[in-house]
């Protein structure tokens, strides 16, 4: 029993750090969401669920919600699929220049998201961008990739896929290299083909790593900001507007701190529910 106070003393700095960095900001955001606080006014009053009513009754709320889910789920699944495919391809001993190819995969991951997004906005440029230059040379019409509501969201998703597929690749490659090669050899001796080896050996053993990558990338994609803001600022119109970007817009453009906090809390609840579902599912398996 005497050791308990000492343990608490050792944990106290970490607990204080968690309170200052995590619990206090979140609690303050929840507090603001129940007020009509504005940046241009020092005084505010409680309106309780008034901001939540405004957010959920906004005719464009479903568009923000749809864009958030299409963007986050789409980029996460594609990144995991590409990352796994590349990891499987570069985990084979027969592949020449494996180290060079793995090194090249590091390049997008080393780019800050801001720099990578600016690079892609140049590629997407309607008149002088290399993408439209190639397409026009092939006889296709030029496309306003970030200015057309039909293409804008998918164009921004491509930027995210380029920047973060290497993350999925390296984590899954590490998981593959942790598997015993004797499993493959035993399966080959028993006459198993490549598909059966992947389906019955690699995939089940790699499943916890896949779930980890899925959880991390989905949580980060739900809160994605830089890529969307720098490339489209939520436009054209609201074609790429997400919950996270709407929180920013309400805070810095309309100075409505209470409503911005409400969008943040709604997004947090979504992330919390989804991550807990995945964690419980992973524990069961």
Q: Which of 58-67, 126-135, 230-239, 255-264 has the lowest mean pLDDT?
A: 126-135
Q: Quote the pTM value.
A: 0.90
How do the domains of the chain map onto residue ranges? 58-284
| pLDDT score of 22 more than 90 | no
pLDDT tens by residue, 227-243: 999 999 999 999 999 99
Query: What is the reported pLDDT for 285?
Result: 63
Fold of the domain spanning 58-284: MetI-like fold (1.10.3720)
What pLDDT score was predicted for residue 1? Answer: 47
Tell me the mean pLDDT in the region 24-33: 92
- Mean pLDDT in the chain? 89
* CA dist., res. 138 & res. 244, Å (int): 38
Percent of the chain exceeding pLDDT 70 equals: 96
């Amino acid at each position: 029993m005497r050791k308990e106070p000492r343990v608490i003393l050792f944990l106290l700095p970490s607990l204080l750090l968690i309170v200052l960095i995590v619990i206090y900001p979140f609690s303050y955001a929840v507090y603001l969401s129940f007020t009509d606080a504005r940046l241009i006014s020092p005084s505010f009053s409680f309106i309780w669920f008034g901001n939540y009513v405004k957010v959920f009754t906004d005719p464009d709320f479903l568009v923000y919600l749809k864009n958030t889910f299409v963007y986050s789920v789409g980029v996460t699944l594609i990144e995991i699929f590409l990352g796994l495919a590349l990891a499987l391809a570069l985990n084979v001993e027969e592949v020449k220049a494996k180290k060079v190819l793995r090194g090249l995969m590091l390049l997008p991951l080393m780019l800050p998201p801001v720099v990578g997004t600016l690079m892609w906005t140049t590629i997407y440029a309607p008149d002088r961008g290399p993408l439209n230059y190639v397409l026009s040379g092939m006889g296709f019409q030029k496309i306003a990739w970030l200015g057309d509501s039909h293409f804008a969201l998918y164009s921004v998703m491509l930027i995210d896929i380029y920047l973060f597929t290497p993350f999925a690749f390296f984590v899954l490659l590490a998981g593959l290299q942790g598997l015993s090669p004797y499993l493959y050899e035993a399966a080959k001796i028993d006459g198993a083909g490549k598909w059966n080896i992947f389906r019955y050996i690699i995939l089940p053993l790699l499943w916890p790593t896949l779930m980890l990558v899925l959880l991390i990338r989905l949580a980060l994609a739900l809160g994605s900001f830089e890529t969307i803001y720098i490339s489209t600022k939520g436009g054209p119109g609201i074609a790429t507007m997400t919950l996270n970007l709407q929180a920013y817009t309400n805070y810095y453009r309309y100075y409505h701190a209470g409503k911005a906090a409400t969008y943040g809390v709604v997004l947090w609840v979504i992330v919390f529910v989804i991550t807990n579902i995945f964690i419980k599912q992973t524990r069961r398996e």
